[in-house]
Amino acid sequence: MIRMSNLSFAYGEREILKDFNLELKAGETVMITGPNGVGKSTILRLLAGVLIQQSGEIDHGYPKGTDPRQKTAFLPDSLSFYRSMTPLEAAKFHAGIFGTEPSDLELAQKAGVDLSRHINELSVGQRVLVQMAIILSTDPELILIDEVLHSVDPYLRNILFTELIEVMEEKNPTVVMVNLNFHDIEHLAGRVIFLGREGIRLDESVDLLKAKTRRVIAEEIPSEYPVLLTENVMGSRHHIVYPFEKKNRRNHR
């Protein structure tokens, strides 16, 4: 169990998180979504130990003296990862930091990445794959994936998800994914968290979420509907209503 309690974080004057609380069960797969600028990536960075909160606490549930960073695989949204090295050099370097065996980069090899080239000469998709191969090799108990996969083509993305699923099956890590394309991961996540400016607006298992959510297509929607978000789909307005309750249903249809 990972417990984030009363976390507050600000970039200078700009407050991103305030008194934020979240618990993650060991082995669950969680998707965090919501509009830009509400702190989704910040939550990942705090969990990864890349950023430190101004107040509050994160308890990763490890024995005392464990550095959570050693048990975390973090795929950030910007790929500034060991650019001037070849993938093999990067794997060695990373293993040195974490005190683990270097990744054999099988994942990247499978996808046809030329391992003798420098990382900054690879395509974005190939870079993501190299990075994924390296971070997964450290036997993580926590896997954090930020919004990077939209720049990866479907072929490489498929290889990536297959690898992730294998690791999930074998090691049962806790997985947190931010803002990925919902269709890519809707059956991968067991729990969805929707973050708004006021904090968590929705926290629900995927199974229940589907049962409780309706897409209403209408120009205007009565104000008593709890609209989670509104999007324009080919010229018409789609309102995602959650929770869609019986009393609403009577008014509709």
Partner 1 sequence: MYSIDSRSVIPVYEQLKRQIVLSIVSGRLDEGEKLPSIRELAAALRINPNTVAKTYRQLETDGYVTSRKGLGVFVSAGVRELQSNRIEIFEELTDEYISKAAGLGLNADEIIKGLAGRLKGEIEHDKNE
Applying CB under 8 A, which residues contact partner 1? 27, 29, 161-162, 165-166, 168-170, 172, 183-190, 206-207, 210-211
For partner 1, give the closer residue by CB, 17 or 142.
142
Residue at 211: amino acid letter: A
Shortest Cβ 17–partner 1 spacing (Å): 28
**Phi, psi (5° rounding) for residue 114?**
-80, 110
For partner 1, give the closer residue by CB, 148 or 189.
189
Shortest Cβ 192–partner 1 spacing (Å): 13
For partner 1, give the closer residue by CB, 114 or 231.
231
Shortest Cβ 244–partner 1 spacing (Å): 11
SS (HEC) of 133-151: HHHHCCCCCEEEECCCHHH
Cα diameter, the chain? 64
**Taking a C-beta distance cutoff of 8 angstroms, is the pair 229, 240 a contact?**
yes
Shortest Cβ 204–partner 1 spacing (Å): 13
For partner 1, give the closer residue by CB, 16 or 73.
73
For partner 1, give the closer residue by CB, 118 or 212.
212
How far are the Cα atoms of 121, 153, 181 from residue 125, in angstroms, in the given order? 12, 7, 16
**Phi, psi (5° rounding) for residue 66?**
-80, 130
Q: Exposure string (b/e) for 19-52, b if CB count within 10 Å is 16 or more?
A: ebebebeeebbbbbbbeeebbbbbbbbbbbeebe
Shortest Cβ 185–partner 1 spacing (Å): 8
